[in-house]
Amino acid sequence: MLFHSPVFLFVFLPIVLLLYFYTSKYSKFAYEYVLIIGGMFFYAWWNIYLSPIIIVSIISNFFFGNLIRNSIQKTFKKKILIISIFFNILFLAIFKYSDFVIQNINYLFNLNIKTLNLPFPLAMSFFTFQTIAYLVDCYDGNIKKTNLTQYSIFIIFFPQLIAGPIVKYNHMMPQFNDEKNRLFNLKNLNLGLIIILIGLFKKIFLADNLAILADTGFTNHQNLEFFGSWLTSLCFTFQIYFDFSGYIDMATGIALLFNIRLPTNFNSPYKATSIINFWQKWHITLANFLTNYIYFPWVKSLKKVSFINIMIIIFFVFVIAGIWHGPSWLYVIFGSLHGVGLITNHVYRKLFQYEMNKYLSCFLTFNYVNLTFVFFRSENLDNSTNIIKGMLGLNGFDFPSYSEDKMYIILILLISMLISFCFKNTYYLIEKFKTS
């Protein structure tokens, strides 16, 4: 069940919303079961046979969290944390990366081990990171008290279940526990509907149309010359942004209907003036997770902290970020290129005092990001190599011929660029609406 599907917008969402506010009038706890049942139904709609996976994850991690919080002995507490994190990573790896590992073993050792072809459960990457953050917060003493019902809501709350943002327990649960948030709020309803419409516009009008030229280009990459390669790469770069940020906008708007505010996940990333700045604006909750739960603990574990050690850690953190996106070496290349970009920014700041012109910085950053997305989208290395060769003019300069039904997509690309570089983002609207 996708956010932009009619069954979600006109059947599922209105029913859950009505039940949420209706039951809140008569019971202090009934709204929790509405959200849990609604979330489970939403999850099962994708594939009912995979539903037990998220149930097992919820129950086992609630148990792990309680063990960690209630343990007095620090050594035992740390052991439980390590075991629980390993359990979650293994759980994710079995479903998402087992075939990738088998394929690489077959290639390296000339074997013929059969792949498992396991189906990948919906949103597993997101709720795994969310769960790990919860367990670490339990270990650090940031989460004092919870119960299975509330923990279930934290994981299964359907607006942020599919594609994030990756939320923290202490950000979400105080909102659910606030009695005022269980009362109908007309202002939040109006704002939520506006944000949902913006998300639908981004997804259906911009992203889905840009995908037509992007898919054509990446499929026929052998024949792409200079202009065709740039159109292909730019269409995908704006497609992925408006697809992802459109979904986040819809998630934000849907959550607002329930009087819940999700954290900011995109903040005009294509206006970034460096790769460092890009990751302060793009998929912000993922960047925060990588920083707080991988980078900082890794740096703290060093016996001697040096600039070189920190740069090495940054590189491997972004290799992890790359492989998190999917089981492919092209995702590793994508993450590695962003790690190299961050290291380059840090080295430049360390060695040079000169501050580059803002517009030139934005231009260079955007084009570097655009280049990395070629690897993100490609099916294989030949695909990405052919497109990059075309972008460099090595395949000629003839303008591609598109049918009339595809020429309008170039106009949509120009509109996408105008929106990305010249307009305020959705979160500006939210903040303005709050203060008006």
Residue of 154, 249, 244 lying closest to 192 (CA atoms): 249
For the chain, what's the residue count? 436
Specify whether 346 is catalytic.
no
Q: Which of 4, 171, 325, 346 is catalytic?
A: 325
Residue of 38, 36, 30, 37 lying closest to 13 (CA atoms): 38
Rounded to the nearest angstrom, the gap between the alpha carbon of residue 283 and the centroid of all alpha carbons in its chain is 6
What Å distances lie between residue 304 and 292, 319, 320, 379, CA to CA? 19, 23, 23, 41
* Cα torsion angle, 31, 32, 33, 37, sign: positive
Contacts of 269 (CB under 8 A, 6+ apart): 241, 278, 281, 282, 369
The answer to whether 391 and 230 have CB atoms below 8 angstroms apart is yes
**Residue 154 exposure: Cα atoms within 13 Å on the Cβ side:** 29
The answer to whether 228 and 216 have CB atoms below 8 angstroms apart is no
Residue found under tokens 């912000």 = 284
CA distance 9 to 11: 6
The tokens describing 419, both together, are: 């929106």
The answer to whether 206 and 416 have CB atoms below 8 angstroms apart is yes
Q: Active-site residues: which are they?
A: 325
